[in-house]
Amino acid sequence: MYTVDSVNQSGLLQVSPIHQMYWEDCGNPDGKPVIFLHGGPGGGSSPATRGFFNPQKYRIIQIDQRGCGKSLPHACVEDNDTWKLVADIEALREHLGIDQWMVFGGSWGSTLSLAYAETHPERVTELVLRGIFLFRQFESDWLYKRGGASQIFPEAWAAFENFIPEAERGDLIAAYNHLLFGKDVDATTKIQAARHWCEYEEKIVFLHPQTPRDDDPHALAISSMENHYFINHGWIDAETDLLKNIDKIRHIPTIIVQGRYDICTPIQSAYDLKQAFPEADLRVVIGGHSAFDAEVNKGLVAATDAFAQR
């Protein structure tokens, strides 16, 4: 990892009548442009995520997607979907006067990276992807139905499921949607639901246990945004299926770093992407889902170092 403490410029870009997207520009102003797309949905960028890139080689662009991080309004799901985020990325590229850039994204960020690249392939020089998630039904079921991650983290699953009344446990995404967005739900219950959603996710994301974040605004943003995207199937349909549209980007040099023991986004999706996209370089490492797991982190930095030479 590199250390990138300073920001050259930053701002809020008005991307809709409702939303302003936070962006920042770090590293070498004359370096190779790269945009970092964070996970979630609902996560955000941070000084730590700048560290995947050599600041002497790269002009590092980070954003907080609609409703996330420093973007305004916070945790807002209105006028917020995958294809609006793709349009936001392109609007920022034009705003900054960048002709082409490398795209880096992990987890949900890998979904968004592929969606952007397939929409604007002429603007993408390379892709670095981690923890592949393609918004297929089995991937959602793995996370939010019995039989997937629940079998590997049964204690985390029990806490997540038991917060919901037994009669509503057949569809946990819908049950949590009501608790997070229902007008008849009080603020305390919404916070409790947000915390349960996030604590389950945090348990399955890290190879080594971490202390959960005690941060209600963060929990609300993550839980609200993720639930909003999952209940709408990520706005990915037969026409926009990421694997079916892979021919649009097969010419783009691509490195995929995948943790063998990733419980959040299991390796099957990375394997399926590799089968559809044999030109991509799939690098399987001994790690989990987090980009900060030691071997995953090492693999990502090696990928950006390699592409810095192009």
Catalytic residue among 45, 107, 110, 269: 107
Of 38, 120, 218, 289, the active-site residue reads 289
CA distance 285 to 49: 19
Q: In what order do the strands lie in the sheet with 124-130?
A: 9-14, 20-27, 58-64, 32-37, 101-106, 124-130, 254-259, 281-285
Tell me how far apart the alpha carbons of residues 213 and 41 are, in angstroms, rounded to a whole number. 17
User: Is residue 240 packed enough to be buried (19+ CB in 10 Å), middle (13-18) or exposed (0-12)?
Assistant: middle
Rounded to an integer, what distance in angstroms lies between the CA atom of residue 181 and that of residue 133? 25
- Catalytic: 120? no
Three-state secondary-structure class, residue 101: strand
Contact of 115 with 242, CB cutoff 8 Å: yes
> Does the annotation mark 262 as catalytic?
yes
131-to-39, 89, 102, 107 alpha-carbon distances in Å: 10, 21, 18, 5
CB 67 within 8 A of CB 79: no
Catalytic residue, candidates 262, 269, 290, 293: 262
Q: Is 30 a catalytic residue?
A: no
Q: Which of 99, 29, 20, 23 is nearest to 58 (CA)?
A: 29
Please give the positions annotated as active site: 107, 262, 289
